[in-house]
Amino acid sequence: MGTILKVDKVTMQFGGLRALGDVDFEIQEGEIFGLIGPNGAGKTTMFNCVTGVYNPTAGSVTFDGVAITGKRPDQIVEIGICRTFQQIRLFPNMTALENVFVGVDARHKTQILGAIFRSPRHRREEREGEAKAMKLLEYVGLTRFANDLAKNLSYGDQRRLEIARALGTGPKLLLLDEPAAGMNPVEKNGLRDLVRKIRDSGVTVLLIEHDMKVVMGLSDRVAVLDHGERIAYGKPEEVQKDPKVIEAYLGSGAGGNAASKQSKQEGA
């Protein structure tokens, strides 16, 4: 099992604000990797650096042995990285099936003229794309909502729909930004099962999540950010006992298990 993503001394500066400073970590192919930290720690900024939204001020990101620093988001999707967002970004007035088809369509090869004139290749890709989108809806448990507008789905189902759309791009690495946010305990249990199923299918997962019960129960390894710097890195059971992590989450002088205390605070 080799390294699929390497983040090497990534720094992100916004004027006088340093959102990330010399952050390092590696993700192994086939694992679920958690990226955690208090609000404002730099987690989503790191996602944006990996997915091409931001070009890091310094440092580099390597995916599957290829440097991707400075590539556009669409180029990064094409090479095999896709993400979901902290704030759900579905097309609310499109059906669930149409939303997933948008992700599948990212892999289609038909050019603009072929689409306008509905070439045989375009029609074939449409048929195959719709079939794949239906399979992905089945995969995430949303088949019955295929023809429902996305805005009419429950919050938890919208989260699952966004994951299905991301999977439609055929990623090797899937980035999930707080997928359990807003979910009830039953939905969170279902999410855990879905993320494991995605990993078991051969897709590596990078996960941001504030619910410590979810992230510590899912992740093979974890990196912790605080004020843009990596303060801990390793297996969940090691990280959650690290004094720096406990202090970052609970304040100076706090003792005990950071993960369990944070879970109690959140009612997880």
Q: What is the DSSP annotation of the chain?
A: --EEEEEEEEEEEETTEEEEEEEEEEEETT-EEEEE-STTSSHHHHHHHHTTSS--SEEEEEETTEE-TT--HHHHHHHTEEE--SS----TTSBHHHHHHHHHHTT----HHHHHTT-HHHHHHHHHHHHHHHHHHHHTT-GGGTTSBGGGS-HHHHHHHHHHHHHTT--SEEEEESTTTT--HHHHHHHHHHHHHHHHTT-EEEEE-S-HHHHHHH-SEEEEEETTEEEEEE-HHHHTT-HHHHHHHH-TT--S-HHHHHHHHHT-
Question: What is the set of domains in the chain, with CATH numbers?
Answer: 1-80+171-268 (3.40.50.300), 88-170 (3.40.50.300)
In the predicted model, is pLDDT for residue 1 greater than 90? no
Q: What is the reported pLDDT for 126?
A: 75
> pLDDT exceeding 90 applies to what percent of the chain?
74
| Rounded average pLDDT over 232-244 | 93
**Is the per-residue pLDDT at 123 higher than 90?**
no
Residue 206 has pLDDT above 70, yes or no: yes
Q: What is the mean pLDDT of residues 207-219?
A: 92
pTM, two decimals, is 0.85
The larger pLDDT score, comparing residue 55 to residue 1, is at 55
Mean pLDDT of 106-113: 53
In this predicted structure, the answer to whether residue 264 has a pLDDT above a threshold of 70 is no
